[in-house]
Structures are given as structure tokens and as C-alpha cells.
A and B are shown apart, each in its own frame.
Chain A
């Protein structure tokens, strides 16, 4: 008899897109979360609304490993189109749960795995008459079966069903019935639990489950954004949706019922960033959300904002490139194209969140940085972080926190102080600006993308131009100590070798480190959270003989950025790259670190 594996498994749901499986699969993942066990659900979906295959992997890990893991322990295979390949992904000793309403074709029989047939379709056809409902409840039947097979707590899932349908109460009893159908069939026909089981634990604390995109949308509400302009593009669209949804709840003027925000779906990404720049020039906090192709389209405008010194917050939820690339798969492929977006000498601030809590905090912070430094700021998320629910520390807000609107002169200031739009009064490279409408005769200036002097007058004088671009460089130097510092995973250096990572690579990197440490191998690690690189980043690299840079693109773009900006010897930086469009795994990292 095999020993049972508790709270450490990957369950894959192989579904057909548009069949309503997402909601059932989410309820399953949430049930595990509510039982106190760290869980990481990942939706692997096609660029399609209905009909193509979609997979939903749920990793359950009491140790708190939240990255993706290859190899499936339990496969719920309900998509005949991909069944053969899906079965191959099951690890030896694993389980296949299938719909036994029809006899399983012999092609699907494989040695070394267990088969569990549940007559899902036959049962729902017997109990429900509407075809669409049959389809939906079939999904709940396999969730019910899993609860029995994995020895989970039915009451937890029933509570989730009740919350989900709080506003459509009549859907609760048939959902309960579907859960019971699957549960009872499994109990009556199979030894429960199987060799994998889920047992209540206490590993969640006060953590939440949230999608990065929702956290960014909410961060923009808290950060004081009043204008959002955007154009639909996967995987960023749900940022806009979240911003609008939260605004409808939290940003309605209580007296008048009117909106304390403007939400503009623009005609394309060029217009979206144009609106953001126009609004920010006029003193509002404004942002857009897009993905790589959108940033390409916005590039000319981004250069204008950089050179004319106008705040702009751009959320880049990255996806597989180049061109249309893999629009529904994840990568970190826009590091260089965002850092140096637009023609001429341009450089932009990048923030790299790795949890929903950071998505929230960095978004709010991005508005302060953009306003203070009068420049575009990118939030560099990706599809994995943006569109999957992640276990995260709770979101935090300090009520005494004030927006830092930067150096803006008021009508009173203009009466008493000299104003030159591009005059470096404080010596930090950051100049004072005025907002249109401030003073009848003082403080107006002409904003332009052409070169100009310190008083915003057009100039083609070489020295004047050099002074301007050098002053903007000074601003860049100042920014280094204002952006989020890196996170270290050791109190002080313990190894001659280090690893560097950022964003969603963090999950797999931490898991790899933990596993290797168990084998007596220890690396110092640094998670970079922003560009420009702070001094700590430079120091970490300088203080190690060899540094592995782990990232999810083919050309080692982050490594290039480190080499370019910190003047590091390229031989010192070893790339560790995964770019197949699926979230990086600890195994892939370990393989590369050990070779």
C-alpha cells in the first residue's frame, strides 16, 4: 500500500473554453485555501472565447511553494480533444478522473496510473433538463467527486457556493445537488481517499487571494487616479475592468451621485496614452493599462512625456512576444522595450511587483513617483501575476498617507517666486511646474517635444539642448534613491554566488533556493523591485563572483539592462532563461543552476 501524500500535489483540470468550468475550478481552489493550505491556481487558456482547450492547474503545497510545477498528480480530463496528451502529463502513480458516461477508448489506457470513472454527463442528464445547466453542473459533479477522493471538507465548498450565489439563491440547491452526486458516486465506488489527500492546516494566516490586475486597479483608486484611458488588450483588460468596478463602489460623490473619475475606452493605444498625458499635464493623476504591443504603439508619446516632463503611469501586463506572439501566455519580454521606449535618449522608471499586495502598493506609489519626477513610470506585471489568483499578504493603507504631487507652483508661489518651467532650482534635476488655470498672467508656458531652454522657449542652441538633457539625467540619478529597494533573502552575503530575479519569477526562484538549501547548496539572492537600479543592486552584483539572472524571456533582457546600466562584466552574469510561455518552474531553475 502506498503512503498517502498530504497537501502536496498538482491537480489539473483539462476543460473546453467557454464551458463554464472556470467558476467550478475556482471554487475548488478556494476550498483548499479556506482549509488553510497554500494554493496556487493557474489558468492556461487560449486566445479564444469558446471551443478551444483550456487547462487549470491547482498546485497545493503546505510548504508554501507557489510557483508552477510540471507533472500532474490528479488529472480531471473532460476535454476529449486533448485527452491523449493530457494523460501523458500524469505522473506515474497519479490519477485520471474521467467521464465514464461512455466507455473509455483503449487508446487512453496507460500503465502506471489509476483510472477513476465518474459518469458525469449521465448523472447530470438524469437530474437536470436544460442543456446549458447540464454542462455547468457537470463541472460541479467533478468538484464533488474530488472532495470525496481527496478527503476534503464538503462544508467549506458548500459555504463558497452559498457566497457565490448570494444574489441568485435559487441556484444554491441544484449546485449542492451536483456536488453530492459526484461526492456520493466517488464514495460508493472508490476507496476514499486516494493516495493524495488534502488536510486542514494553518498555513494561510491573514493572507488573501487576489489577481494582480484587480490589485492594480484598486491601487489606482487608492493612489488618486482620476482619469483612466485604455484600449482592450489581453492580458491587461481586467485592470481597466477592476478600476471601473472599484470606482463605481468607492468613487461616487455621495451628495450628487456623480463620478469622481473619468474612464475612457479610447480608439487605440496611441489615443489612450495621449489622454493620459493630456490629463496629467492638466494636473490630474492619470494612467493606462496595456501589454507589449500597446507599449510599441505608445512609444512616440512616451518620448514626449519623457522629454516634455509630464507624469504618466503605464501598466504593462506582459505577454509572450514578439509581434502578436503568444497573447494568452506569460513572459517577461518587454524589459528593454519599456526601459528605453521611444526614439532618442530615453529611459523610464520600471516597478516590478511580484505579489498582488505589491501590485496595489506599487501602483499607488507610481503616481507619487510620476508626479514628483514628472516622467512616465511603468508597472511591469505579467499575465501570470495579472490574471491568476495569487496568495498574497493583505493590502495595506496608512490613512495618514498624503499624495506627493511633486513640485507644483500655486498662484501665491507665482506672485513671490521666479518661475522657469525647466529651471533646476533645487539642484536635484526636478523642476517646478504649473497647472493650466492657476494664475491669469503668471506661470503660463508652452509645452513641447522640441528642445527648449529653462524658460520653455524653443531653442536649437546646442549648449542649451545639452544642458536640458544633462539636467534630465540628474533627475534620473535622484530617482535611484526614491524607487523601491531590492529585497534580500539573507542578512548578509554568505556565498560567492548570487541569484537575481524579479516579478513572478520570484515564486519558482524561492522554491528552487529552498530545495537546493536542503541539498546543502546556498546562493545569496536578490529580488529587484525597480529600475533605475539602486545602489544596493550594484553592490550586490559587485560583491559576488558570479550572479545568475533568472528571467522569462529568450534574450536575457534584464541581464542586458544590468550590464548596460551598471557596467558589469557580462561574463559575471549567467543567464537562466525560460520562455515557453508557461510560468517558470523551480525544476527549470535548479537544472540550470546545477549545470
Chain B
């Protein structure tokens, strides 16, 4: 796009631990529709990365095709980005991750990109437990081709393009991810930054596949009466499971919660996710109770948000493979090439 942001910076902008201001995490001006939920998610990503003191070059952002997949242009302008092909972000990210295990991988996808054309790659990235944050900007429709229903459009939901209630069952990506053995499953709402930012941070700290299904209303094609992915519907039916606070490793936990109502989730890197649970009868580290809670909410038409499930014993793909700790893309002849002597032995064995 020709839109270029002014590069003027206030000299007193606060810097994070690695010396960057929040502006350093921004990208080009968005070309999405005004009011698009996706822009709020981009803002949450910027906020989370700034607060986490992520060095911009230590993160790679990868997407597929669609409105959602355009967003990596609009955040983290100092990070490498890859806008790949439709529905194939998971495989590109898996390959990138194999090449260098030291970067943070942020995969951005949409409901068409993930629940239709990319369904196969999505479930296989889940079961491989690729170390990445996978955000679905879920608006229930194909915005870029003018609003056709997507596979996450709920049964009976009406969009501006379809005008009639969807006759098909909507695919619940959260339930699917849990079924596939995901080790970190969350749902959020683009309009709830206070919940989304800590979830993204926790996802980045999680060693393995961190899935965030983020309901993100399409203001142009699916924000009408009768839609279950409109701002007003989601606000009315959002049932947050907990209030969240992300505490980095080096900070002391200062907040106090009522006994029994809070849970400290100590993440792999030592940081802590404080959950102030609003529904005390279930435990997000217990797959069975989490799964039934998700199913109950679905049956009653509620949109359950927050951290829904986390496996604290998660082993990511490199651990499952037993790959060396050194990023593979830094290995050279010395480590990789067995040399002529070894080849002579192989030749001899072939005679």
C-alpha cells in the first residue's frame, strides 16, 4: 500500500527491557475496513510483544490468505513476515520452526484459512505440537470475497451475504483443537484486549502449539442482526472463564485473589499466568473437565472465553524428535558433511 506512517517519535516514549518503544512493534497502516476486529487483534499482538520485550528479529510472523492473513503487514514491521498460500500457514511455520527452534513463531490465520481449505494442515500442526502461537481471527465469513459463510458460521446464523440462516453445523475450532490433543487452547474476543493480551503472552511462553481462537467481527459482512459473530451478540453471550493476568518470570506476583477462586499457572519459562476463575467447578489443566465445560457452554449458546486448557507437561516437536539444541540453520559442513572417508566405507559396502 502507499499508506506510510509518520516516523516521528516522541523522545520520551517508554522503552521496554530490550530498548524498544511500542512504536517499534507497529507495522504499516491497515487497509482493512474501519472497525474491523482484526485491527484490534493486531494491536493486542503489538502490546503483548512490547510488554514481553520480544526482540523484533527473534519473531517470525507467518500467515495464509484472506483478510486475517493480511494483518502481519500491520504489526511488527521489524520482524520477518511470510504471507504464504491459502490454508498452508501451518506447514510453512512447521518448516521454519524446524530450521530454527530459537525464534518465536506467530501464525495468523482466519476461519476460511483454518476451518476449510487449511483444516488438514491445522489439525496436523496441533497433533505435532509445533512450538508456535496460532491465532485464528474468526469472523464466520469470507470477507475478502464479499462475505460468503465460512465453516465456522454457526448453525442458524445469518450473514449479510447469505441472508438466510446457515443450514450447516459450525465447526468449533476450540473443541477440535482439544480433540486433536492441543496443549494450549484459548478463546478470546477482539473487543476484549484485557483478556487477549495476557493470552498471547502466555501462548508465546508455552512450549508447544498455543491455539487462540479469537472471535473478530466482520463489520462489513457479518455484523448484522441474526449473526452470532457480531459485536453485540458476542458481547451479550461472552462468558469469560477467568480474569487473566500474565506475570513475567522476574516479577513478583503482587495481586491477591480470594482463596479457591484463583489459580497460578506456572509456564515453562517460569512466568506465571494468574487466572481468577469465574467458574470454580472446573480446572483448565484437566483435559476432561475443560472439555466438558466447553461442550456445556456450546450447548447453552454461550461463547466461553479465556484459557480453556493447558498441558503443563507439553513437549514440543523438537523435543519429540530429539533435534539438537543448536538451530539447524546455523550448522555447516563441519556438522553436516560426513566427508570422503565415510564415503569410502559406504562405497566399500556396495562392492
Asked if B323 contacts A436 (CB within 8 A), the reply is no
Which residue, B1, B321, B346, has most C-beta atoms of chain A within 10 A? B346
Known: A270-B121, A286-B99. A278 touches B77 (CB 8 A): no
**Which chain B residues border A222 with CB–CB below 8 Å?**
337-338, 343
Interface size class on chain A is: 35 or more
Do A264 and B57 touch (CB < 8 A)?
A: no
Q: How far is the CA of A463 from the CA of B81 in the complex (A)?
A: 25
B77 near A224: Cβ-Cβ < 8 Å: no
Chain B residues with CB under 8 Å of A224's CB are 331-333, 336-337
Q: Is A275 an interface residue (CB 8 A)?
A: yes
Any chain A CB within 8 A of the CB of B325?
yes
How many pairs, one residue from A and one from B, have CB atoms within 8 Å of each other in the complex? Answer: 226
Residue of B57, B121, B324, B347 touching A437 (CB-CB under 8 A): B57
Whether, in the assembled complex, B56 has its beta carbon less than 8 Å from a beta carbon of chain A, the answer is yes
A-side contacts of B43, CB under 8 Å? none
> Does chain B have a CB within 8 A of A440?
yes
Q: Is A208 interfacial (CB-CB < 8 Å)?
A: yes
Interface positions, chain A 293-329, Cβ under 8 Å from B, are: 300-301, 304
Given known pairs A441-B56, A446-B72, the reply for A458 and B120 (CB within 8 Å) is no
Residues A274 and B325 in contact, CB atoms below 8 Å apart: no
CB < 8 Å: which of B83, B331, B347 contacts A208? B347
The contact size tier of chain B is 35 or more
Alpha-carbon distance A394/B343, docked complex (angstroms): 9
In chain A, positions 255-290 with a C-beta closer than 8 Å to chain B are: 256-264, 266-268, 270-284, 286
Q: Is B329 a contact of A450 with CB atoms below 8 Å? A: no
For the complex, give the distance between the alpha carbons of A458 and B97 in Å: 25
A221 within 8 A of B: yes
By a CB distance below 8 angstroms, the chain B residues around A402 are 333
Q: Do B98 and A279 touch (CB < 8 A)?
A: yes
B321, A397: Cβ atoms closer than 8 Å: no
Kindly state whether residue A395 has any CB partner on chain B within 8 Å: yes
- B99 & A283 in contact (Cβ 8 Å cutoff): yes
For window 394-423 of A, CB contacts with B under 8 Å fall at 394-399, 401-403
**A262, A271, A286, A435: which has the most chain B beta carbons within 10 Å?**
A262
A271's closest neighbor in chain B, by CB? B91
Tell me which of B24, B81, B98, B121 contacts A447 (CB under 8 A): B81
- Which B residues are within 8 Å of any A CB, using their own CB? 1, 24, 55-58, 60, 62, 72-73, 77-85, 88, 90-100, 102-103, 120-121, 124, 128, 318, 321-325, 328-329, 331-333, 335-340, 342-343, 346-347, 350-351
In the assembled complex, 19 residue pairs joining A and B whose CB atoms fall closer than 8 Å, in A order, are A34-B351, A221-B336, A226-B336, A227-B98, A263-B321, A266-B124, A267-B121, A267-B124, A271-B91, A271-B120, A278-B99, A279-B98, A280-B95, A282-B103, A284-B98, A440-B78, A446-B80, A448-B83, A449-B84
Known pairs A229-B95, A437-B57, A458-B1 / 12 extra A-B pairs, C-beta < 8 Å: A224-B337, A226-B328, A251-B336, A262-B328, A275-B91, A278-B84, A278-B94, A279-B96, A279-B329, A280-B99, A282-B103, A444-B81
